[in-house]
Amino acid sequence: MTIKLEVERRKTFAIISHPDAGKTTLTEKLLMFGNLIRTAGTVKGKKTGKYATSDWMEIEKQRGISVTSSVMNFPYKDFKVNILDTPGHEDFSEDTYRTLTAVDSVVMIIDATKGIEAQTIKLFKVCKMRGIPIFTFINKMDREAREPLALLEQIEEVLDIETYPMNWPAGMGKRFLGIYDRYQNQFVKFNGNEKESYLADGELDNHPDLINDPTFQDMKEELSLLDEAGDQFSLDAVLSGDQTPVFFGSALAPFGVEVFFDTFIQMAPNPKPRKTTEGLIQPEKADFSGFIFKIQANMNPAHRDRVAFLRVCSGKFERGMTVKLTRSNKLIKLTQTQQFVASSRDTVDTAFPGDIIGIYDPGIYRIGDTLLEGKENFKYDELPQFPPELFKRVTAKNVMKSKQFKKGLEQLVQEGAIQLFTGYPMESHIIGAVGELQYQVFEHRMKHEYNVEVNLESIGERIPRWLELEKVDTQLFDDRNLLVKDRDGTFLVLFKNDFALRWFQDKHADIKLIDLYDVN
Site residues, ligand G4P (CB under 6 A): 17, 19-25, 46, 49, 88, 139-140, 142-143, 250-252
In contact, 353 and 11? CB cutoff 8 Å: no
Check whether 20 is labelled as a binding-site residue. Answer: yes
Q: Which is nearer to ligand G4P, 25 or 82 (CB)?
A: 25
Least separation in angstroms between CB 383 and ligand G4P: 25
Least separation in angstroms between CB 146 and ligand G4P: 14
Check whether 416 is labelled as a binding-site residue. Answer: no
- Compute φ and ψ for 376, nearest 5 degrees: -65, 165
Q: Residue 420 carries which DSSP code? A: E
213 exposed, middle or buried (CB, 10 Å; 0-12, 13-18, 19+)?
Answer: middle
Q: Which is nearer to ligand G4P, 46 or 471 (CB)?
A: 46
Check whether 172 is labelled as a binding-site residue. Answer: no
The Cα 245–Cα 162 span in angstroms is 9
Q: Which is nearer to ligand G4P, 259 or 323 (CB)?
A: 259
Check whether 139 is labelled as a binding-site residue. Answer: yes
Q: Which is nearer to ligand G4P, 143 or 448 (CB)?
A: 143
Least separation in angstroms between CB 412 and ligand G4P: 26
In contact, 27 and 139? CB cutoff 8 Å: no
H/E segment holding residue 112: none
Q: Which is nearer to ligand G4P, 276 or 343 (CB)?
A: 343
Strands 167-170 and 178-181: antiparallel
Check whether 444 is labelled as a binding-site residue. Answer: no
Check whether 22 is labelled as a binding-site residue. Answer: yes
CA nearest neighbour of 285 among 375, 360, 211, 203? 375
The Cα 193–Cα 322 span in angstroms is 52
Check whether 1 is labelled as a binding-site residue. Answer: no
The Cα 352–Cα 339 span in angstroms is 12
In contact, 290 and 316? CB cutoff 8 Å: no
In contact, 391 and 347? CB cutoff 8 Å: no
CA atoms within 13 A on the CB side of 105: 27
Least separation in angstroms between CB 253 and ligand G4P: 6
Least separation in angstroms between CB 298 and ligand G4P: 24
Check whether 133 is labelled as a binding-site residue. Answer: no
Q: Which is nearer to ligand G4P, 45 or 423 (CB)?
A: 45
Least separation in angstroms between CB 155 and ligand G4P: 18
Task: Write out the binding residues for GTP.
Answer: 17-24, 85-89, 139-142
Task: Write out the binding residues.
Answer: 17-24, 85-89, 139-142
